[in-house]
């Protein structure tokens, strides 16, 4: 099975819930983008409009390799349209404040699943249709964990442990799946010549934030805390959120395992995300539609199965809630919201399997559905794949393009 095999195989559109007006202090753009990141659009739009990059607000990050419709806001009265590499922004309306995540009702997805045998396609199509009723664990999926390395772990974990030296080294010298070729080559130099800041400066891509850190480290070779704080705030937040999301996944996995065991049920399958094996189910009569607070230093969990799962995971990771504060950072913090433990896709539509023009003799399935903000379409497909009725599907790989963050 393959998803996101081509850019046109994956489409997502943000559903804006907050009303727009004809007047207001902020211009809201409807952005159509393709094969560029949200950050790239943000940077180019800011340059074109003559504002700081942080002034261009968005409700959520969106995939690079996809056809995307999303919304961005800019303070002030701005042109009716702006166009740049891989995107076009057109005036959607105005608001009295910047866009924020709560402005979204969700996202509408359309995916093409390719390279299927007839024995795989039929049970997969059925399982996709069933997920609207049975739901699935609302895990953060692979895209969230671009800053995870199997040997070095999470940069966010190093920050929370106040190990600024290790965090800076990970940023400059550890290769991650989403790194482009120029960055990979630079990081190979950094690994071989760590501490030789002039050598690293010569090898650093131009332009890049790496050069800001290296300029500072040449003059202050031991001040890793200050160097770390030179990393863009958005990137620091992504690192923290990745580790926080990993802990959240682990808590949900333990909770689901415990509830299934109490009902004398076994997981239907497991999914591997960021080095953890997380349980999946087919029917969930023993699971409640509950919210789980993202772990942070002021989170309160009370009592019960979820609270027990939180404590068990913290003990296993040798972490206390009081540790979950980025004390060495000046401008980045862990999120303080709650997330549904279970995910129920809505308005699911599955087109019957058809011949796949990209893979001779194979079938494809087109599926569309709506998800709440922060949930992953790729997770829906992979969970359907791993829990499909045909036992031969279980454990087989789900091939997709790599993480974007």
pLDDT for position 288: 76
Query: For residue 385, what is the enclosing H or E element?
Result: helix 377-386
Task: Reduce the DSSP state of residue 234 to 3 states and report it.
Answer: helix
pLDDT for position 389: 63
Give yes or no for residue 269 having a pLDDT over 90: yes
pLDDT for position 392: 43
Residue 234 pLDDT class (50, 70, 90 cuts): confident
pLDDT for position 47: 95
Give yes or no for residue 18 having a pLDDT over 70: yes
Q: By the 8 A CB rule, do 219 and 386 touch?
A: no
Residue 391 pLDDT class (50, 70, 90 cuts): very low
Mean pLDDT of 133-148: 94
Q: What is the mean pLDDT of the chain?
A: 92
Residue 95 pLDDT class (50, 70, 90 cuts): very high
In whole angstroms, give the CA distance from residue 249 to residue 5.
27
Residue 19, class by beta-carbon neighbours within 10 Å (0-12 exposed, 13-18 middle, 19+ buried)? Answer: exposed
Give the phi and the psi of residue 362 in degrees, each rounded to 5: -115, 170
Give yes or no for residue 203 having a pLDDT over 80: yes
pLDDT for position 398: 42
Give yes or no for residue 405 having a pLDDT over 80: no
Mean pLDDT of 114-119: 94
Mean pLDDT of 81-102: 96
Read off the pLDDT of residues 295-334 as tens digits, 9 standing for 90 and up.
Answer: 999 999 999 999 999 999 999 999 999 999 999 999 899 9
Percent of the chain with pLDDT over 70: 95
In whole angstroms, give the CA distance from residue 389 to residue 387.
6
pLDDT for position 180: 87
Mean pLDDT of 164-175: 97
Give yes or no for residue 60 having a pLDDT over 80: yes
Q: Which of 78-87, 357-366, 384-393 has the lowest mean pLDDT?
A: 384-393
pLDDT for position 177: 83
Residue 188 pLDDT class (50, 70, 90 cuts): very high
Give yes or no for residue 9 having a pLDDT over 50: yes
Residue whose token pair is 């699971």:
287
Parallel, antiparallel, or unpaired for β 87-95 and 2-3?
Answer: unpaired
Task: Reduce the DSSP state of residue 70 to 3 states and report it.
Answer: strand
pLDDT for position 225: 97
Report all structural domains of the chain as residue ranges with CATH numbers, in order of start.
11-106 (3.30.2350.20), 168-234 (no CATH)
C-alpha angle with apex 81: 99 to 55, nearest 5 degrees? 35
Mean pLDDT of 184-188: 96
pLDDT for position 390: 52
Give yes or no for residue 216 having a pLDDT over 70: yes
Read off the pLDDT of residues 77-87 as tens digits, 9 standing for 90 and up.
Answer: 999 999 999 99
pLDDT for position 199: 97
What torsion do the CA atoms of 159, 277, 376, 265 make, to the nearest 10 degrees? Answer: -130
């Amino acid at each position: 099975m393959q998803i996101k095999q081509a850019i046109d195989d994956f489409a997502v559109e943000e559903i804006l819930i907050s009303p727009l007006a004809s007047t207001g202090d902020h211009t809201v753009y409807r952005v159509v983008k393709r094969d560029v990141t949200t950050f790239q659009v943000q940077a180019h739009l800011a340059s074109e409009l003559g504002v700081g990059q942080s002034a261009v607000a968005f409700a959520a990050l969106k995939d690079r390799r996809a056809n995307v419709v999303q919304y961005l806001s800019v303070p002030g009265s701005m042109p009716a349209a702006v166009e740049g590499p891989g995107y076009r922004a057109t005036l959607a309306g105005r608001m009295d404040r910047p866009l924020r995540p709560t402005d979204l009702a969700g996202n509408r997805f359309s995916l093409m699943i390719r390279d299927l045998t007839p024995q795989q396609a039929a049970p997969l199509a059925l399982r996709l249709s069933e997920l609207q009723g049975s739901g699935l664990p609302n895990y953060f999926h692979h895209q969230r964990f671009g800053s995870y390395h199997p040997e070095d772990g999470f940069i966010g974990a190093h920050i929370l442990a106040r190990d600024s030296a290790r965090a800076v080294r990970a940023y400059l010298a550890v290769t991650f799946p989403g790194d482009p070729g120029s960055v990979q080559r630079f990081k190979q130099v950094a690994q071989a010549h760590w501490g030789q800041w002039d050598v690293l400066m010569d090898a650093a891509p131009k332009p890049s934030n790496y050069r800001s850190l290296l300029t500072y480290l040449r003059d202050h070779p031991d001040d890793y805390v200050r160097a770390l704080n030179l990393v863009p705030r958005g990137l620091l937040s992504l690192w923290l959120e990745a580790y926080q999301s990993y802990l959240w996944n682990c808590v949900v996995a333990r909770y689901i395992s415990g509830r299934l065991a109490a009902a004398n049920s076994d997981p239907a399958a497991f999914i591997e995300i960021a080095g953890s094996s997380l349980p999946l189910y087919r029917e969930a009569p023993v699971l409640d539609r509950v919210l789980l607070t993202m772990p942070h230093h002021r989170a309160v969990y009370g009592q019960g199965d979820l609270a027990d799962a939180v404590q068990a995971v913290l003990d296993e990771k040798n972490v206390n809630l009081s540790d979950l504060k980025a004390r060495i950072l000046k401008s980045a913090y862990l999120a303080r919201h709650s997330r549904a433990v279970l995910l129920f896709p809505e308005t699911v539509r599955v087109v019957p399997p058809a011949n796949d023009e990209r893979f001779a003799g194979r079938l494809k399935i087109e599926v569309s559905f709506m998800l709440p903000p922060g949930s992953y379409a790729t997770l829906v497909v992979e969970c359907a794949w791993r829990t499909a009725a045909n036992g031969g599907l279980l454990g087989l790989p789900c091939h997709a393009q790599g993480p974007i963050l």
